[in-house]
Amino acid sequence: MKKEIKFSLLYRDMWQSSGKYVPKVSQLEKVAPAIIDMGCFARVETNGGGFEQINLLFGENPNIANRRWTQAFNDAGIQTHMLERALNAIRMSPVPADTRKLMFKVKKLQGTDIARSFCGLNDPRNLENSIRFAKEGGMVSQAALSLTVSRVHTVEYYTNLANTLIEMGADEICVKDMAGIGRPAFIGKIIKNIKTNHPHIPVQYHGHSGPGFSMASILESARSGVDYIDVGMEPLSWGTGHADVLAVQGMLKDAGFLVPEINMKAYMEVRALTQSFIDDFLGYYINPKNRQMNSLIISSGLPGGMMGSLMADLETNLAGLNKWLKKRNKPELTQDDLLIKLFEEVEYIWPILGYPPLVTPFSQYVKNLALMNVIQLIKGKSRWSMVADNIWDMISGRSGQLPGQLGEEIIQLAKEQGKEFYTGTPQDLYPDNLDVFRKEMKEKNWDFGQDDEELLELAMHPEQYRDYKSGKAKADFEADLAKKREAKTAGPEKKATTENCEPKKLYIDINGEKYTVGISYNDIDIAGPDGNGNGTSGIQAEAPAKDNNNKNGGTWEIISPLEGKFILTKDPSEKALKPGDLVKEGDLVCYIESMKTYNAIVSDKAGEVVEIALNNGDNVEEDDVLIKLA
């Protein structure tokens, strides 16, 4: 009798592995019937991860979106599943237990059947509550093994982890090959051990196609007894995404497995609709390089699910870095130059950081730290000079136990900075706080929503939810989209205008003295160093860099060391700085949120706050003034 293998469509992950945004609810409702008509999917991944946070970012209610999106699959008898990050639930930072528990209850009532829970550190203590809360909420608990390749991540390691999670009550196991770097034979051995030890436990394989192993890994998984295979489909398969269902079906059918037939007319309809969503607006947030496979990922192990945001981060940081290089008459870098430097730095720091599996959020932490190291080293500064708070939480054990030992240089840095290591249960560090958000909703007269789902959104994503409620999120998204559309449609006549001529300034060195020269085109003055068009009348000495002199008009300026978003507080328990407050040298004054991590900004001088130069949530560039002291 042929072994039956079922398919799960990763319609959520397809988008998030390719770019930043996901379809709007009207688009999701439009494509759902065609996905059902394909007739080959036993499961569809509908929500979770960053999906619902993205809804908020473009001003859409994620609860309404989730209920309406899952309804069609519920009616058709197709199971829906979500992705959640254990201690971090469906965000990037730890979540109190009462909010985590409410999440599973709400998501089940909204129509989600299966909770795929993973801990980025594979710490069973973080997964124990996920398993328990999912089952209490009426969901199927699918516990995931976050797969990676290192000297500590062996077949025995993952076999024992699966045994532990099943003993804790997990109904299913997912072998989550988030970077696609798992070698086929290695994956096969893990799955075979699980099925041998627990023959009645369903096993699902999830792998990305980026490095090139995925088809062989899928075939090996099938031969080892896997029950479900995660697949993608065009136009968002392959690349940083997942193997296409057509290729997987053809391969497994030829190998003698029982697989479902595919309604090709419906396949083409889903394909066309998905492309129409890309053409509508989502394509503006998809880097073309994410549609390519890249075996360089094998060495760094960075996951496909974060490659969409990685390329956007590289583009942003490259622009700032090249601005810095250009100002100092140094050769600029290409995106490929920076990418290779990043991959090399990830390889270097990963063992030093204790081999955290490179999956959300720890893949972002390792990538962000590597990128900061690269940028600081290029600027002549030292490695480890910018370590975000979230990353210290990972290093110090506040997020869970690292699989490997920390390197001596990071241990020494922790001692120098007074960081304390934690060995207790991570959840204990984050006390229940739903009552804080209940109070806020009552004070603002906000509707708690069906099954307290609006309360959940505020507690899970406070800043994004407040911006959604105020309309700021939608306005910011529409402004950003308009800017991207304008940039794409700008004709050659616009690009040839005076405003777009280059260069507007020249930086020259005469006998060791640096000077800036403003340039004029067509008798129109272009702003020189003083910003008022006075640079064209002569040569002026370049002002000292801010990092050498923070004094300005009797005040002391705290400046941003990197690009990102200005955040006064990251936690409801923190008190925001305000004018009139006194700060000491070394005091925490704010954060810069960059690449999904919070970088603590401390005052380099004692004084009284006379001005907060930015609004909470404003975008900042490197060297922007954040706070003024007297």
pLDDT at residue 596, as a whole number: 64
pLDDT at residue 219, as a whole number: 98
pLDDT at residue 365, as a whole number: 87
Residues 597 and 579 reside in one and the same domain: yes
Phi, psi angles (nearest 5°) of residue 422: -120, 135
pLDDT class of 531 with cuts at 50, 70, 90: very low
Residues 555 and 596 reside in one and the same domain: yes
Residues 468 and 512 reside in one and the same domain: no
The CA–CA distances, whole Å, from 139 to 38, 116, 122, 172 equal 26, 10, 21, 11
Judge whether residue 260 has pLDDT over 60.
Answer: yes
**Does residue 593 fall inside a structural domain?**
yes
Judge whether residue 547 has pLDDT over 70.
Answer: no
Question: How many residues would you count in the chain?
Answer: 630
Judge whether residue 168 has pLDDT over 90.
Answer: yes
Query: Angle at Cα 87 formed by Cα 82 and Cα 88, nearest 5°?
Result: 65
**Does residue 129 fall inside a structural domain?**
no
**What's the average model confidence in pLDDT over 447-459?**
96
pLDDT class of 491 with cuts at 50, 70, 90: low
**Does residue 469 fall inside a structural domain?**
yes
pLDDT class of 569 with cuts at 50, 70, 90: confident
**What's the average model confidence in pLDDT over 472-488?**
90
- The pLDDT tens digits for 577-587 are 999 999 998 88
**What's the average model confidence in pLDDT over 290-296?**
73
Q: Which two tokens stand for residue 279?
A: 């053409």
* Number of domains comprising the chain: 3
Last residue of a domain, one of 541, 559, 575: 541
- The pLDDT tens digits for 330-377 are 998 888 888 888 888 988 999 999 998 877 788 888 888 888 898 888
pLDDT at residue 301, as a whole number: 59
pTM here is: 0.77
pLDDT at residue 526, as a whole number: 30
Domain membership of residue 502 as a residue range: 494-541
Q: Is 409 left (phi over 0), alpha (psi -120 to 50) or beta?
A: alpha
**What's the average model confidence in pLDDT over 544-555?**
53
First to last CA, the chain: 81
**Does residue 465 fall inside a structural domain?**
yes
Residues 556 and 624 reside in one and the same domain: yes
pLDDT at residue 216, as a whole number: 97
pLDDT at residue 320, as a whole number: 78
**Does residue 457 fall inside a structural domain?**
yes
Tell me the pLDDT of the chain averaged across its residues.
86
pLDDT at residue 312, as a whole number: 64
pLDDT at residue 28, as a whole number: 96
pLDDT at residue 429, as a whole number: 94
**Does residue 570 fall inside a structural domain?**
yes
At CB < 8 A and 24+ separation, what contacts does 71-77 make?
Answer: 71/111, 72/29, 72/32, 72/33, 72/36, 73/32, 73/35, 73/36, 73/44, 73/46, 73/111, 74/111, 76/36
- Amino acid in the structure at residue 119: C
pLDDT at residue 574, as a whole number: 75
Return the higher-pLDDT residue of 374 and 161: 161
pLDDT at residue 201, as a whole number: 98
Q: Of the ranges 59-73, 284-298, 369-383, 438-452, which one carries the lowest mean pLDDT score?
A: 284-298
pLDDT at residue 9, as a whole number: 98
How far is it, in rounded angstroms, from Cα 592 to Cα 460? 20
pLDDT at residue 518, as a whole number: 42
The CA–CA distances, whole Å, from 259 to 8, 37, 114 equal 12, 16, 22
Q: What share of the chain is helix, strand, coil (3-state, %, to 5)?
A: 45, 15, 35
User: Under DSSP, is residue 365 helix (H, G, I), strand (E, B) or coil?
Assistant: helix
How far is it, in rounded angstroms, from Cα 26 to Cα 604? 50
pLDDT at residue 300, as a whole number: 59
Residues 535 and 556 reside in one and the same domain: no
Judge whether residue 502 has pLDDT over 50.
Answer: no
- CATH no. for residue 614? 2.40.50.100
**Does residue 110 fall inside a structural domain?**
no
Judge whether residue 144 has pLDDT over 80.
Answer: yes
Residues 529 and 565 reside in one and the same domain: no
Residue 376's contacts (CB-CB under 8 Å, 6 or more residues apart) are 382, 383, 385, 386
Return the higher-pLDDT residue of 551 and 470: 470
Q: Of the ranges 297-311, 324-338, 597-611, which one carries the lowest mean pLDDT score?
A: 297-311
- The pLDDT tens digits for 396-437 are 999 999 999 999 999 999 998 889 999 999 999 999 999 999
Return the higher-pLDDT residue of 19 and 166: 166
**What's the average model confidence in pLDDT over 611-628?**
87
How far is it, in rounded angstroms, from Cα 365 to Cα 363? 5
pLDDT class of 190 with cuts at 50, 70, 90: very high
pLDDT at residue 16, as a whole number: 86
Alpha helix (H) ranges present in 58-181? 62-76, 97-110, 124-136, 155-167
pLDDT at residue 506, as a whole number: 43
**Does residue 508 fall inside a structural domain?**
yes
Cβ burial, residue 582 (10 Å; 0-12/13-18/19+): exposed
Instruction: Report the DSSP pairing between strands 564-567 and 588-594.
Output: antiparallel
Residues 505 and 462 reside in one and the same domain: no
The CA–CA distances, whole Å, from 215 to 183, 220, 244, 579 equal 11, 9, 10, 59
- The pLDDT tens digits for 8-56 are 999 999 998 888 888 999 999 999 999 999 999 999 999 998 888 889 9
Residues 616 and 571 reside in one and the same domain: yes
pLDDT class of 302 with cuts at 50, 70, 90: low
SS3 annotation, 506-575: EEEEECCEEEEEECEECCEECCCCCCCCHHHCCEEECCCCHHHCCEECCEEEEECCCCEEEECCCCCCCC
